[in-house]
Structure 1
């Protein structure tokens, strides 16, 4: 990437961080996509519509989701240049717009999660420190719907026995309230009772537990109760949290807040999980349905 392009990308990323609250991971992703485009175009700042249209032809071997992400990054980049008066025109109309079908999340039943929790709780009673830690990890993953990165980065002081929730800085550096169940509180207290002093709730080596290690722990816990390990991950447990809440009657707006989704469209993926229950909900709760049954409001 040329020095001129690098300067433009730096200004663009400064804007994303200041105005959109983009995380360092998001900024790194933007930089990577723009650098990949610059390697083909030669110059980001001077590229015209024809060059960008030809760029789409260079991406034919890439997955649709990758093409969509790179196109989105370039559109936002050139929109920024126009807004800042750094370009008179926006050449991004020629970029491809592939249709990306969002994959449905893998699901665990309530019985399967209950089996994992029951096994983890029984092992924690035996008193082994790692068993107590694993039980607390599982209670938080499923009971609060945390992302893996959010869980492993929790400071030790973030969970207080007197508070039914914690304030979490999640994706995009946005803060949200995360409820903590009584079972999770008990599991965490059991884990911390006698645990080594550390600034992290779940330490691992010289810093917090790594996401890779968390992934391994969760899969091992699944295997112990007869669940195929490839079906389970920290993110699958987050999906289970959302799915089972929706099945229990939670509305999408509440679910959006609990999961920390910026856009409710992201949360709507969970409406597929129990369409029969949603139809029954309309038939039972809608005023017209009650009138048809002869009930008063």
Structure 2
């Protein structure tokens, strides 16, 4: 079994320093985090508060009418533990007109609408607060494409994107994230009873190990099967990685000139600042 153990103290130092540097590089000193009550958003909130000071972080709860009260309570526990500023903005009045127009829409479409509605709220609050939106997606979700494009994946920077879910758990325990947040089943809270692992069809514990072998160790699918992984499971995960790659890159631009944005016209993010 692959050892996904990290040194939480080192990761904490690197990530808080990185958040501070990236936000300063953008000409800002503040951050906004969408707080769902789940582990990943709690972790981003803890890191941002430590990096910038709690007075410079705004945590935004954005419940829908079917949102779990437990999730709202856990989000409040994170706010209380970190001392950050907070706001609660109900998205039901914004989302309902569109949802009611298409009563037969799938749960996937409904979930994507709510995720994108929350993105709209977050970016509006970032403009009002004068802070950069801090992302909450972990490496497992990013690789599997378990995210809504221009929804929960939208952010100005993401401190968790190189940590597998198992590693986020380790860091959360070391930083004192409330236990109720750390032990609850992962959920995007997009509809009543929804869980990440129920949607994916496998557990994070199972897939983290395989992803590490495929991505970090650069093993082939055949080598993973030889190592003992079920062939169907490997195929399913590899298919998800490939099929969702478009979510990890900028949209392609048709090349007509010698200097095409994203191809030849390439500069570091802080160019000109």
Q: TM-score range by the shorter chain?
A: under 0.3
Select the structure with the greater relative contact order (CA < 8 A; seq sep ≥ 6).
2
Q: How does the TM-score come out when normalised to structure 1?
A: 0.25
Bigger radius of gyration among the two: 1
Q: TM-score, normalised by structure 2?
A: 0.27
